[in-house]
Chain A
Amino acid sequence: MNNPVLNVKSVSKDFGGIRALDEADLVVNDKEIVALIGPNGAGKTTFFNCITGIYTPTSGDVLIDPGAKGDALRINGKKPNIVTELGMARTFQNIRLFPSMTALENVMIGMHCRTKSAVWGAISRNKATRAEERAVVERSYELLKLVGLDEFVNELSSNMPYGKQRRLEIARALATDPFLLLLDEPAAGMNPQETLELEELINQIRELFQISIMLIEHDMKMVMSMSDRIYVLEYGRMIAEGTPQEIANNPAVIKAYLGEDDDA
């Protein structure tokens, strides 16, 4: 049995008196695609924020194990940039690109934490710095090509179409060289055709980079067809976990989404 790359153990998050997450558990195994679903306001994005360091969980453990080797590292309370450096990269539900930078530059920012040149390098522009810059540009272009944005390479990100912006966010996250990619509603606002293409892209990314992917998504068709396992969150609690078939037939999930006849 492989060790999980991400192991979240009974994580809770309180905002004042409101418990947004209530002892949520979640496991992502190596090279797995895991979906997190749930009704609006269930706490999915809060969960993402807790594991990526934007929020510090009130209690519980977030453990990562990049190589799936069995030596887990606790990352609660670490800053977002440290979490990214450790290898968890995310996208945002409401796209957060750098609007006045080009597509290429956006991806180049993603490579910031994997490069080193500092003030002296910038001033002297020595061999190492030039080589690094060239490598960054090359690599960024490759990533853009991979997500199908090579024609937008020199375009300002704010001028790109919405669906392309989502793809650019994925490319930027990939540039940080993650072992786990966290996608927050990657298909939001896309038409069925674009969603299909996105699904293809995500599968391709897993194959190519050999990484795990976790996504929050509302598009059930996409979730059901591409996930290995699904977690369902409701009112901050994990109410179900299982393969797409199990989830589709789980009474608790159906109740959460559709409600049920109320006798009381």
Chain B
Amino acid sequence: MSILTQESSQQSFLSAFLTAGCDSVAHALRKSFLAAIWFVFLTFPIMVIRVNTIENTVVWRWENMAYIAISIFFGSYIWRWLLARKEIKKDESKEETRFEGLLTQVQTKPVLKYAALGVIALIAIAFPQVVDLYQTNIMVSCLVYVVLGLGLNIVVGLAGLLDLGYVAFYAVGAYAYALCNMHWGLGFWYALPLGAVLGTLLGVLLGFPVLRLRGDYLAIVTLGFGEIIRLVLENWGEVTMGPSGISRIDRPEFFNMKMSIVDSTTYMYYIMIGLVIFTIFFVNRLQNSRIGRAWLALREDEIACQAMGIDKMKTKLLAFALGATWAGMAGVVFAAKTSFINPASFTFWESAIILSIVVIGGMGSIRGVIAGAIILVLLPEYLRDFAEFRMLLFGAIMVLVMVFRPQGLISAKRKIYKYEASNTASAGNE
């Protein structure tokens, strides 16, 4: 009896798999067939034709065409099944995945929470001791992106302002340190607050005129500003050294001690860990404050917000400037880490990556942004084995995340003010 029910459930699974998102088996067959044809057509020029430039002959690789047709034909079944499953899931539960449920559980139970934090801390501390220089170096740049992501998260995730020129503030921080170091030998630890202050100032300066705009318009104007900063850096040769950049920037010193490159990278790593912790603390507190509340309200309804006495301009400007502060600091660290900067490091591509970190990780979610940074920065590194397919895979993963988890890897969970008889606002999550 039990075997029979199992069999029938298997049968129903199979039929569900075969007809997912379609009316009938025939319909599904036709869809898959069309998809296969379409992909064969799309990939024909790159997968089938190969020109041998030495012998001036064309090699026709028909077998590739067959591989593509077959894999797309079956792949489309899986794709439709996944999409259908996602639809069912959406109806069933309130979009909390098993992973997120686990996270919530870990956070609500103090024992688990501290255990998890301890494990993370231990891994973070031990990391540079265990792995080699290359890995530590990658991790440092990953942490720089975590800080950048968390900074942009204030602007995009919390205040809902789409900023495509975030890299401008990053560049300002980096150049501030590089130039001060070159001319006056200013040390890293003095440059870090200087970068933060300059970032803030520029944020206010740029924010003032552009924050009258909303949504797409704001995005375009910030994009323009980002490019302007880069072009200034590129063309103002007397000051910025132009496209050739500035080299031999000092790495951070530790009580004037000379350090080997390995030690110095390890030191950099710990500095970044500290900065990340500081940033998380800062953003978290900010989010759960009067200001964070105002940002949320502003994101939801600007007119109502103003009618309730919130100064729109001031509130937005604050978000913009605070975001820029972190970009400025990250810039200083970047300059110190690479010890060479030029305008090519601050292109629009960089802004796009930082924004992707925020969006893919989960807007407004600190854990999400960290996850996003780790994936988006480390993935291309570890995908180096796949050589020329690296960026293709990277793009495919981004598309997949957006199809299956449009709210980001770890969606934002806000601390909700709850009124309880004990007259305190108690924390929910995050």
In the complex the two chains form, is A101's CB within 8 Å of B286's CB? no
Q: Are B425 and A134 in touch, CB under 8 angstroms? A: yes
Let me know if A117 is at the binding interface, CB within 8 A: yes
B417 & A98 in contact (Cβ 8 Å cutoff): no
The listed residue (A102, A112, A129) touching B308 by CB distance below 8 A is: A112
Chain A residues with CB under 8 A of B424: 134, 137
CB of B30 within 8 Å of the partner chain: no
Cβ proximity bits B295-315 to A, threshold 8 Å, 1 near / 0 not = 011001101111111111000
Tell whether B291 is near chain A: CB-to-CB under 8 Å: yes
Question: Is there contact, CB below 8 Å, between A98 and B322?
Answer: no
* B290 contacts A137, C-beta separation under 8 Å: no
Q: Is the interface of B mostly helix, strand, loop or mixed?
A: helix
Given contacts A98-B300, A99-B300, A105-B293, contact A112 B310 (CB under 8 A): yes
A84 touches B307 (CB 8 A): yes
Judge whether B289 and A117 touch: CB under 8 Å: yes
Is the Cβ of A109 less than 8 Å from the Cβ of B303? no
Q: Verify A115–B290 contact, CB threshold 8 A.
A: yes
Instruction: Please tell me if A79 contacts chain B, counting CB pairs below 8 Å.
Output: yes
List, in ascending order, chain B residues with CB within 8 A of A118's CB.
291
In the complex, chain A residues whose CB is within 8 Å of the CB of B294: 109, 112
B293 near A109 (CB under 8 angstroms)?
yes
CB-based contact B309/A113 at 8 Å: yes
**Contact assessment for B303 and A137 in the assembled complex, using a CB-CB cutoff below 8 Å:** no
Residue of B nearest to A98 (CB): B300
Task: Answer yes or no: B258 CB below 8 A from chain A CBs.
Answer: no
Instruction: Tell me which of B310, B318, B423, B424 has the highest count of chain A C-beta atoms within 10 A of its own C-beta.
Output: B310
**Residue A179, interface by CB 8 Å:** no
**Which of A85, A99, A138 is within 8 Å of B423, CB to CB?**
A138
B290 touches A154 (CB 8 A): no
Q: Is A24 an interface residue (CB 8 A)?
A: no
Question: Which residues of B sit under 8 angstroms from A115, Cβ to Cβ?
Answer: 290
State which of B289, B311, B417 has its C-beta within 8 Å of the C-beta of A102: B417
Would B419 and A141 count as touching, CB distance under 8 A?
yes
Q: Which residues of A are found within 8 Å of B296, using beta-carbon distances? A: 98, 100-101
Select one of B290, B306, B318, B417 contacting A104, CB under 8 A: B417
Contacts of B291 in A (CB 8 A): 118-119, 122
Interface residues of B in 277-292 (CB under 8 A from A): 282, 285-286, 289-292
Chain A CB within 8 A of B383 CB: no
* Residues from chain B with Cβ under 8 Å of A70 in the complex: none
Q: Is residue B89 contacting chain A, with contact meaning CB distance below 8 A?
A: no
Which of A92, A97, A133, A138 contacts B290, CB < 8 Å? A133
CB of B416 within 8 A of chain A?
Answer: yes
A100-131 vs B, Cβ < 8 Å mask (1 yes, 0 no)? 11101100111011110111011101000100
In the complex, the 7 A-B pairs of residues with the closest C-beta atoms, listed nearest first:
A113-B309, A122-B289, A84-B309, A96-B304, A80-B306, A98-B300, A153-B419
**A residues bordering B, Cβ < 8 Å?**
52, 54, 79-81, 84-85, 89-90, 92, 96-102, 104-105, 108-110, 112-115, 117-119, 121-123, 125, 129, 132-134, 136-138, 140-141, 153-154, 172-173, 175-176
Contacts A/B (CB < 8 Å), 16 sampled: A54-B306, A90-B307, A96-B307, A97-B301, A109-B297, A112-B309, A113-B309, A117-B289, A117-B290, A119-B322, A122-B286, A123-B286, A133-B289, A140-B419, A154-B416, A175-B308
